[in-house]
Amino acid sequence: MKVKGKRIINTDEAAEFANSIRGQYILSQALVIAVRQLKKYEDEESVLYNMENSEPSNRSDMEYLLEAFPLYRVHEEAAWSTQENNKEV
């Protein structure tokens, strides 16, 4: 592990991949899935009072990061609109 500027990376290849379109898509997908799961934990918390799983501040930070990595969300919205258009035909 090494510090490169303000980043901590394990390998240059992984950092290079993260900077690619595919890497940004994967990061975006991971954030979208994580946000959904954390929202479920928050909903469960209101019923079960299970504080271990709920991380509202983490979810909020992930939603903020999605502004920098929006590719999966954009793709997902396009996929839903395509499905809706196919149902109407």
CB 67 within 8 A of CB 54: no
pLDDT average, residue stretch 47-62: 74
Greater pLDDT, 16 or 79:
16
pLDDT for position 9: 77
> Residues 59-70: pLDDT tens digits?
999 999 999 999
Mean pLDDT of the chain: 81
- Band (pLDDT 50/70/90 cuts) for residue 47 is low
Task: Report the domain count for the chain.
Answer: 1
Residue 57: give the domain boundaries: 2-88
What is the spatial distance between Cα 52 and Cα 39, in angstroms, rounded to a whole number? 13
Residue 32 pLDDT > 90, yes or no?
yes
